Amino acid sequence: MTHISPHPGSPSPARVPVVVIGAGPAGLTVGNILRAASVDCVVLETESREFIEQRPRAGVIEEWAVRALEQRGLADNLLERAGRHTACEFRFDGSGHRFPYTQLTGRHHFVYPQPLLVTDLVHEYADRRGGDIRFGVRDVRLHDTDTDHPSVSYLCPASGERRLIHCDFVAGCDGARGVSRSTLTARERARVARHDYGIGWLALLAEAPPSSDCVLFGVHPRGFAGHMPRSPEVTRYYLQCPPGDDPENWPHEHVWPELRQRLAASGNPPLTEGRLLEKRVLDMHDYVVEPMASGRLLLAGDAAHLTAPIAAKGMNLALHDAFLLGDALAMYLAKGDDSGLAGYSEACLRRVWDYQEFSQWLSDVYHGTASGDPYRAGTTLARLRRLFTSPAAAAAFAEQYLGTAAHY
């Protein structure tokens, strides 16, 4: 039988109100909100601090999310260093069509690479708010989360011993490959809705300055291409490819001509090329777990729902969940008010489903002309033209792109 030890020889508590699994944007935001409310918690993370502070992923944060981080004292560096984007550009039929969303709405997108946000959130939680975070843990297991005395155990990286922490709640923030989702979905009541786009994206990070001041969407018969500025030195690019494609099929000398062709627009300078720092194929799919909570286990972020990076929504949804979950747990544990916990799943899912629907819509736009179906190509171009001729269509797109609907 496995030997389980609370925390032998360690001053760390064997009981805390909340165990947070996963130190991504969701888990670290929940941890910070709890620390600010003087609620004790432990964050468990399988990777090292260095690894999570360098893992490249998202870069676009919606303005409402930045303001919510700011209200919680979590956006000082972001506000100082992030780029502010005011427009995006669709490139099709050999021309560029700029969509000035800030002019229409007064709102921005903030561009701040996910590793920088994670670095800020870890620093605030562990170094400034004195939060307990354990890196490099192995084989995390959830116990009795359908009772009111749950616990979490893990293998300590230093001793190899299994450690046990009793708690009141488990926040499952361990992303798409964690253990929390399968624990919750093993229960009868939970349902997982899935969608597979049947396409792949080659995700590239290039050591090259952006070739435009804004995000570019290349809608081309050869397939979609994207250009996303990340910093003055680094640009993310995407190329539509077959699902399951091997990144090795895309050497430097294939990537750049393909990007040039799919992002071509008359009157624009050629793309600035650079060394490819990251090259991997993402099979585009989505899922949503409903409800996002069961018993004392509450999911947040990619653990509960995945949104293919089509509309740059995943990290924004992870932050939205984390604000609601952190506030709801703090309200219950500090004041005994359970209204936030009771409405948590429903409140998250309204925005989740709205963003899922927008990703579907945008996927049709991105991939329609390359589908080989002249009917889909025709309707795709009609949608694109409507964005630039109908103020009502432009306003609806801007609202969804920026996540600014008044009610979700």
- Residues near ligand FAD (CB under 6 A) are 21-27, 44-47, 52, 57-60, 114, 140, 173-175, 177-179, 203, 301-303, 309, 312-316, 318
Which residues are CB-neighbours of 393 under 8 A, at least 6 positions away? Answer: 386, 387
CB of 338 to ligand FAD, least distance (A): 24
- Which of 285/386 has CB closer to ligand FAD? 285
| Shorter beta-carbon distance to ligand FAD: residue 178 or 218 | 178
Nearest to 284 by CA among 364, 353, 348: 364
- Nearest-10 Cα torsion for 298, 303, 304, 307: 160
- Concatenating the DSSP letter of every residue in 53-119 gives TT-----EEEHHHHHHHHHTT--HHHHHH-EEE--EEEEETTEEEEE-HHHHHS--EEE--HHHHHH
Nearer to ligand FAD, 175 or 218 (CB): 175
Contact residues for 379 (Cβ-Cβ < 8 A; gap 6+): 364, 368
Rounded to a whole number of angstroms, the minimum distance from the CB of residue 256 to ligand FAD is 19
Q: Where are the beta strands (DSSP E) in 209-355?
A: 215-218, 225-229, 235-241, 275-290, 293-294, 297-299, 305-306
Nearer to ligand FAD, 3 or 177 (CB): 177
Least Å from the CB of residue 266 to ligand FAD: 28
Nearer to ligand FAD, 23 or 88 (CB): 23
Least Å from the CB of residue 391 to ligand FAD: 27
Which residue, 57 or 220, is less far from ligand FAD as judged by CB?
A: 57
Residue 158 contacts by C-beta under 8 Å, 6 or more apart in sequence?
A: none
Nearer to ligand FAD, 38 or 54 (CB): 54
* Minimum distance, C-beta of residue 379 to ligand FAD, in the bound complex (Å): 27
Shortest reach from residue 55's CB to ligand FAD, in Å: 7
In the complex, the smallest distance separating the C-beta of residue 363 from ligand FAD, rounded to whole angstroms, is 15
SS3 content of the chain, % helix, strand, coil (to 5): 40, 30, 35
**Helix (H) or strand (E) run with residue 41 in it:** strand 41-44
